[in-house]
Structure 1
Amino acid sequence: MTLNHIRKWIATSLLCLTATAASAETFVFTAIPDEDETKLVERFRGVADYLSEQLDVEVRYIPVKSYAAAVSAFRNNQVQLAWFGGLSGVQARRLVPGSEAIAQGVEDQAFQTYFIANTSTNIEPAEELASLEEELRGKTFTFGSKGSTSGRLMPEFYIRETFGEQPEDFFSRVGFSGNHTRTLRLVEAGTYEVGALNFQVWQKELENGNINTDEVQVIWETPPYPDYQWTIRAGVDERFGEGFKARVTEALLNLDDKALLESFPRSGFIPASNADYEPIRNTAEEIGILD
C-alpha cells in the first residue's frame, strides 16, 4: 500500500468515526420541577421515548431540584431542550443568545394563577382582587418556587399592583413552598392561610379527587398571561445535524399521545416564539426579579 493510499484510508476512517460519534450523541432535556418529582419523571421519560423514536437519536431526560438548576443546566449546555415556565424560559434565553421558544401548550397562551385560601379564613371568592384587601391583609401567604411564573412572578405582580405594597409588607408571613402541589397541600392543611398556584395543577388535582374542598377553595383568578414553553438551545443544528431544530419542533407539535398529553395536562402543542414571552420579561423587569 502506497503512502497516499494509507493517508486516504486514515482520513476515511477518521470521517467514519466522527460521523458515528456524532450520530451516537445523546440529546438531553430537562423540565422545571413544578410538581412532585415522581409525576415529572414518569411524564418526561415518556416524552424522551417519544422524541427518541421521532428523531432517531438517543434522548434522555434529567430531573433537576429547582427552577434555577434547570436554567443553569441549559446555560451550561448540560441540556439542549427544556420545558420552562414563562420566567425561567426568559432567563435561559437571555443567558444563551440564539436560543428559541419553539412550542407551547394550547392552554399556555392564556395561563392563569389561582389564589387559594383555607376555609377557616372565611374569605369568599371575588372577581376583583382589590375587594379582598381587608380579608387578605395580615394573613400568612405562600408562593410556589421563587423562579415560578404562575407561582411567584404573576401573583407578586398583582399583589404589588393592587395593594401598592410588597408581599412581605402586606402579609404577616410570606413563604415559598417550592412547587404548586406543595402550595396546595400547605394551604389545605392550614400551614399557610393563603397561597398562589398554577390553575392547571388545581384543576387536575380536583378532577382526581385529591382536594378537600371543605378545607381549601379558590378565592381569585388572575387575568390570562403566556406561560410554559419548550425552549431549544442555540447550536443544536451544528451539534446534531442540519435541520435538527426543525425536526424537534415538528415532533413536539405532532405529539398526540393522549395519556402523555393528559399528564402535562395539555390538549396539544402549538408553535411559540420568543416574542410571545415579552409580557413576562417586562413584568419581571418591572418588579425587579429578573436576573
Structure 2
Amino acid sequence: MKKLAPALAALSLAATAGTALAQDVLRVSAIPDEAPTELQRKFAPLGAYLGKELGMKVEFVPVSDYASVVTALTSDKIDMAWLGGFTYVQAKERGRVVPLVQREEDARFTSKFIASAASGARSLKDLKGKTFAFGSASSTSGHLMPRYFMQKQGIKPESHFKTVAYSGAHDATVAWVASGKVDGGVLNASVWDKLVEGGKVDTDKVKLIGTTPAYYDYNWTVRANLDAKLQKKIAAAFLKLDAQKPQDKEILELQRATRFIPTRPANYQGIETAAREAGLLK
C-alpha cells in the first residue's frame, strides 16, 4: 500500500470561532479523482468555513491514490474524507466509518460514456474492438458502476474492447480520448459537465455517446471513533450551507452542489451489490 503523499501545499486553517473541542485539528482528505491542484482549489474555501464553524484547525492531507484514502481513514491517520460510493464501501469493509452527508446530486448520480470523433462511434457497441479507458480501478463513477451497467447490457469490457486501460482520474480520461490515446472512455458526469462548461474539452473531438442509469455516489465520511459531538457539528456545518448566501455560494459551487443532505449506510447497498457482482469486492 502506498504511503500518504507529502502534504504539498497542505492547508492548515486556524479556527476563528466556536468552542474548543478535545481534538484541536481535523485532518481531512479526498479521493484523488481530479488533479491535485484542482482538489486543493476546491477544498480551500470549504476548509476555511469548517475551521470557523468547528472552532479548530482543518488540515487537508493529499494522498497518492484511492487506496491511500481508505487506508488512512480506517487506520485513524485522517478524520474525514470525501469518498466515492465504492471507496466508502471498501472503507466500511475494513473498519468502522460513518457516512455523514452527501450532495443532493449524489442521490441520482450518473457516469458519461465518451468517444473520440475520429473513432466514429455513437454508442458502446460501436466501440467493439477499439481501445477504452476507465478512471481509477477504485472509482465508483469512473469504473465500478459503468462496468456494472455494461455487464447488465451483456458487454464484458475485457472481451468487447481491444484493450482496457485505467487513466487514474476523470479529467485524465477525457485527455486520453481527446488526444487519441484511447478511442473511448467513461467518467463522472459532474466532471464532464464542468470541463464542457469551462471550455476545457473540445466537443468536436470528444463526443458524448451514453449515460448510465442513476445511482448513489459521493459522500463525506468520518472515522467512527471520532468524537460524537464533533461528528454532529461537522454534519450541521455542511447542512446549513445555503446557496442564497453569498459567503456559502462559492463553497457549494466549487463542490458542484446545490446543497448537502444527510446520508446513511443503506444508500450504498446498491454499490456494494454491484461491486460483488462485478467481482471487485470479495
* 2:100 alignment counterpart: 102
CA distance in 2, matches of 1:247, 1:22: 11
* 1:52 alignment counterpart: 51
**May I ask how many residue pairs the two structures share in their alignment?**
258
* 1:148 alignment counterpart: 139
CA distance in 2, matches of 1:251, 1:90: 24
CA distance in 2, matches of 1:94, 1:170: 31
Q: How does 1:13-52 map to 2 (within 5 A)?
A: 23=22, 25-52=24-51
* 8 Å contact from structure 2 (residues 127, 183) kept in 1: no
CA distance in 1, matches of 2:206, 2:233: 44
* 1:209 alignment counterpart: 199
Between structure 1 and structure 2, the one with the greater Rg is 1
Post-superposition offset of 1:287: 1.0
Q: Deviations over 1:108-132 (max 9, x none)?
A: 000000000000111225xxxxxx4
* 8 Å contact from structure 1 (residues 23, 57) kept in 2: no
5+ residue gaps, structure 2:
1-19, 243-247
Amino acid at match of 1:244: L
Return the TM-score normalized by structure 1. Answer: 0.85
Post-superposition offset of 1:85: 0.3
CA distance in 1, matches of 2:42, 2:134: 24
CA distance in 2, matches of 1:30, 1:105: 17
Post-superposition offset of 1:93: 1.9
CA distance in 2, matches of 1:24, 1:185: 42
Return the TM-score normalized by structure 2. Answer: 0.88
Post-superposition offset of 1:159: 2.1
CA distance in 2, matches of 1:223, 1:211: 24
* 1:158 alignment counterpart: 149
Q: Deviations over 1:198-225 (max 9, x none)?
A: 0101111111111111100110100000
* 8 Å contact from structure 2 (residues 103, 218) kept in 1: yes
* 1:288 alignment counterpart: 279
Q: How does 1:175-186 map to 2 (within 5 A)?
A: 175-186=165-176
More helix, by proportion: 1
CA distance in 1, matches of 2:232, 2:201: 41
* 8 Å contact from structure 1 (residues 253, 270) kept in 2: yes
Give the percent of matched residue pairs that are identical in Structure 1 and Structure 2: 38
5+ residue gaps, structure 1:
1-20, 126-131
SS in 2 for 1:209: coil
CA distance in 1, matches of 2:21, 2:231: 16
